[in-house]
Structure 1
Amino acid sequence: MPASVIVDALWGDSGKGKTCAYLARKHDAQLAVRAGIGTNAGASVTLESGELIKARQLPTGWLNPGTKVAVGSGVLVDPRVFADELERYGLGDRAMIDPRCAVISEQHIADEQADQHLRKQVGSTCTGNGYARADFALRRAQQARDIPELAPYLGDVAAEANRVAADPDGLVLIESSQGTMLSLALSEDYPYTTSGNCTTASALNDVGLNWRHLDEVIMIVKALPTRVGEGPLPYEISTAEAERRGIAEYGVVTGRPRRKAEAIDADTLRYAAMLNGPTRIALTFCDHLDPAIRGQRGSAAIGPEVRRVIGEVEQATGAPVTLLDTGPRLDDVIDLEG
């Protein structure tokens, strides 16, 4: 398996980080690379010990001891967030940043927090990513190679990813961010989008990976979709209803309540599959659909409601569901591939 892309079908917050960590451990991946916009989206993984891992800059593949982690050149870097994750998780000897990454400055963050359009109309996280991306497009942003404290971690991530992927025994996991339906140039919901695209093709571009090395596209589908910020959400339920059912969620970056839907919109899912070309599906947050499956790790626990959704997702995407996420812990997974 030379290279696999992990991409979100809908509006994000679906468990891409957990999936990346699970696959890195299962296959002892050599390299995990972060694609996507930057630090405006986070991943959280709960270990068997109960420890909660949160990350915004680095991919969670480092939870496998033998996996190195990197940030692709198309991803924005916040040196403060990067340094914090290195220190918290002891990743100084396993992390690489591409020197061509644009840098989020403190001024970018301040400008976004003062931008009423982004804060109130769009519902942005206001973490400086949009302003930094705009400055990069205008060729006036700093790059990682301009920041002295990043110098020990700089390396050509595109070259490394292609080198590992060219090895028949190697595996590169590319962890995308946010979700396909938040894509700047592909969503119907503009301006309620992020500042770039969040598809398979954009993830390859963020990393600089030759498409010929791509072996798998693992598309994450959240059993009960969520959305943070403004924009339409089909089949949305109220926050009170989500709390009553015990399925309320809160954002990793902002702590804001995630708006919750009670079903997957089939037309939206078909469109996401058309854009991403999934070879297989990970169906996540199955315990929000059926509480009885929570924490289960064997296929005998799959009940009729989850089986119904599996069938609907496979019909809409044309790809098999091979992973079921059943709870918050890293190993709360039913792996239908074994």
Structure 2
Amino acid sequence: AHVITHYHRTIDKVTERFLGKRQIGTTGRGIGPTYADKINRVGIRIQDIFDENILRQKVEAALDQKNHLLVKVFNRRAIDADEVVESLLSFADRLRPMVADTGLEIHRALERGETVLFEAGQATMLDVDHGTYPFVTSSSATAGGAATGSGIGPGKLERIIGIVKAYTTRVGAGPFPTELFDESGEFLRANGFEFGTTTGRPRRCGWYDAPIARYTARVNGVTDFVLTKLDVLTGLSTIPVCVAYEVDGVRVDEVPVNQSDFHHAKPVYEEFPGWTEDITGARTFEDLPKNARDYVLAVEAMSGARISAIGVGPGRDAIVVRHDLLGAS
């Protein structure tokens, strides 16, 4: 595990501002620069905090280059290595009991027959390899990242559960073919309370994008989708779903592999009738109104994997389960 330091956050913010109109839309929390240091092999790891001499050497080596960047390129003051070291050392006692060989712990849990759940913190289109680069996070947010991040072999992953909203959202810059700039977008944002978890930024909202769902199913090996926030669509007379794109006058049925084509992709919509009934009390698929059921079945047929559960409200129990998510596939 790598440590986000004060200088990572500083460089994140000044670099993003420096980009101007080409900003990526980072959170400013120092995530990208920390991953960059990891790949450049000048990162600070948790274990370094427990050895002051090694920590000091590594911080000084990292700041040798970064202070030149801050002072000469961004006209900022240099960061003092001693301040960084003292700050990191102050966490040592608190962190020591939390640090273990987690790969071994997980392996032993699996050997005991326990259920282990890995949770991704970002979406597929933000994956550094398979997302809308460069408008992505700095890590592997797809299912394969569970193996590399945990130290567990990929053969141990039995179920891959994809979480997909009944519409589409995004925080930060990057291509978004179904993005809405009208009252429909405001409807989704207001009803779905679409504001960034980390930053509180208003999320960009758009209609369900079936090609992206199929791409997600393929890249992750999704066995089950959980369709969330179906209740947010209640009250719409018709609900458009993106079934393909038009790129330079040509219909394209899958997410374009070329980034420029994806930027210029225009959605091809199919419209489905909406519903007005309150669905937040539904607990079985049959409880949903026919138009809601038809919508779920339609997007399921387009999305590359079965929809095993449906979120119908903000409560933990506001869910319709169609297939067991923890049992055998």
Instruction: Name the TM tier (shorter chain).
Output: 0.5 to 0.7
Where does structure 2 lack aligned partners over 5 or more consecutive residues? 50-91, 236-277, 325-329
Matching residue of 1:198: 141
1:180 CA displacement: 0.7
Q: What is the one-letter code of the residue matched to 1:216?
A: R
* Distance of 1:118 and 1:285 partners within structure 2: 35
From 17, 28, 36, the equivalent of 1:126 is: 28
* Distance of 2:281 and 2:292 partners within structure 1: 14
The secondary structure found in structure 1 opposite 2:286 is helix
1:166 CA displacement: 2.3
Q: 1:314 to 1:241 in 2, by over 3 A?
A: closer
The secondary structure found in structure 2 opposite 1:331 is coil
1:289 CA displacement: 2.1
> Structure 1 runs of 4+ off > 4 angstroms?
117-120
Q: What is the one-letter code of the residue matched to 1:195?
A: S
Matching residue of 2:307: 321
* Distance of 1:119 and 1:228 partners within structure 2: 17
* Distance of 1:240 and 1:117 partners within structure 2: 33
Q: TM-score, normalised to structure 2's length? A: 0.66
1:215 CA displacement: 1.4
Matching residue of 1:225: 168
Matching residue of 1:294: 280
Q: 1:258 to 1:171 in 2, by over 3 A?
A: same
Q: 1:289 to 1:305 in 2, by over 3 A?
A: farther
From 174, 197, 200, the equivalent of 1:255 is: 200
* Distance of 1:146 and 1:110 partners within structure 2: 21
Q: What is the one-letter code of the residue matched to 1:112?
A: D
Instruction: Determine if contact 2:4/2:31 at 8 Å carries over to the other structure.
Output: yes
Which whole-Å deviations, capped at 9, do the CAs of 1:83-118 have from their partners, x for residues lacking one? xxxxxxxxxxxxxxxxxx001112211211112256
* Distance of 1:118 and 1:193 partners within structure 2: 15
The secondary structure found in structure 1 opposite 2:308 is strand
Instruction: Determine if contact 1:122/1:191 at 8 Å carries over to the other structure.
Output: yes
- 1:144 paired with 2:144, answer no
From 76, 89, 109, the equivalent of 2:9 is: 109
* Distance of 1:107 and 1:239 partners within structure 2: 40
Q: TM-score, normalised to structure 1's length? A: 0.65
* Distance of 2:218 and 2:128 partners within structure 1: 17
The secondary structure found in structure 2 opposite 1:109 is helix
Q: 1:205 to 1:222 in 2, by over 3 A?
A: same
Write the mapping of 1:79-98 to structure 2, written as runs, cut at 5 A. none
1:325 CA displacement: 1.0
* Distance of 2:314 and 2:14 partners within structure 1: 35
Greater helix content:
2
Instruction: Determine if contact 1:242/1:260 at 8 Å carries over to the other structure.
Output: yes
Q: Greater relative contact order: 1 or 2 (C-alpha under 8 angstroms, separation 6 or more)?
A: 1
Between 1:138-147 and 1:231-240, the stretch displaced more is 231-240
Where does structure 1 lack aligned partners over 5 or more consecutive residues? 1-100
Q: Which has the larger radius of gyration?
A: 2
From 158, 165, 186, the equivalent of 1:215 is: 158
